[in-house]
Amino acid sequence: MKIVMLLLLLLSPIANAVDAYQFNNPEQQAAYQSLVSELRCLVCQNQPIGDSNAELAADLRRQVYEMLQQGKSKADIQQFMTERYGDFVLYNPPFKAKTGLLWLGPVVFLVVGLIAVFLFTRRKKTVPPSDSVSENTEKLAAVRRLLTDKDTENLS
């Protein structure tokens, strides 16, 4: 019994907001599931409407369900939502001037990072070794000179 309770507890956070909707066919159910996981709830903005218990999310799920029942396609419903709530309602917004930074930003950061890594490693490889070798030989010579000078000083 305890184990069953524990399992139920473990399962509970995954459980979505559930509405008792009846679907005509599995395709319609699949379209519903994918839409409610792609549309953002505007009240609790980090949840799709399928996960949210906000009243607006429930209303939007009802809207999605009714439009599917009327035979509307996924694209129709996405258009319906963006006409009313803007691209913000889509978790997967289309690529256009306004969303350009959103889509290209990560690529720009990657390129800048790669260039920085390239410049940094090249500088480390080429510049210091040649310098340090000659520096070392110079220092070595100086030390030798000092040592020999000291020896002579002591002797005298």
Partner 1 sequence: MLKFILPLVLFIVLAVFLALGLNLNPHDIPSPFINKPAPVFSAPKLTAPTEKLSTSDLKGKVWLFNVWASWCVSCRAEHPVLNELAKQKAVMIIGLNYKDEPDAAKQWLDTLGNPYNVSIMDADGRIGIDWGVYGVPETFVVDKKGVIRLKYTGPVTPEAIQQTLLPLINQLQAEQP
- What is the binding site for partner 1 (CB under 8 A)? 42-43, 45, 55-56, 59-60, 63, 82-86, 88
Cα-Cα-Cα-Cα torsion 64, 45, 20, 22, nearest 10 degrees, comes to 30
Q: How far is the CB of 85 from partner 1 (least distance, A)?
A: 5
Q: Closer to partner 1 at the Cβ: 54 or 74?
A: 54
Q: Closer to partner 1 at the Cβ: 105 or 129?
A: 105
- Quickly list DSSP for 56-74: HHHHHHHHHHHHHHTT--H
Return the structure tokens found at 48.
């799709």
Q: Closer to partner 1 at the Cβ: 22 or 45?
A: 45
Q: How far is the CB of 16 from partner 1 (least distance, A)?
A: 20
Q: How far is the CB of 56 from partner 1 (least distance, A)?
A: 6
Return the structure tokens found at 117.
């890594």
Within 13 Å and on the Cβ side, how many CA atoms surround 98? 5
Q: Are 32 and 65 in contact (CB under 8 A)?
A: yes
Q: How far is the CB of 37 from partner 1 (least distance, A)?
A: 19
Q: Closer to partner 1 at the Cβ: 83 or 153?
A: 83
DSSP state letter for 86: -
Q: How far is CA 122 from the centre of its chain?
A: 30
β-bridge partners, 40: 48
Q: Closer to partner 1 at the Cβ: 30 or 112?
A: 112
Q: How far is the CB of 139 from partner 1 (least distance, A)?
A: 26
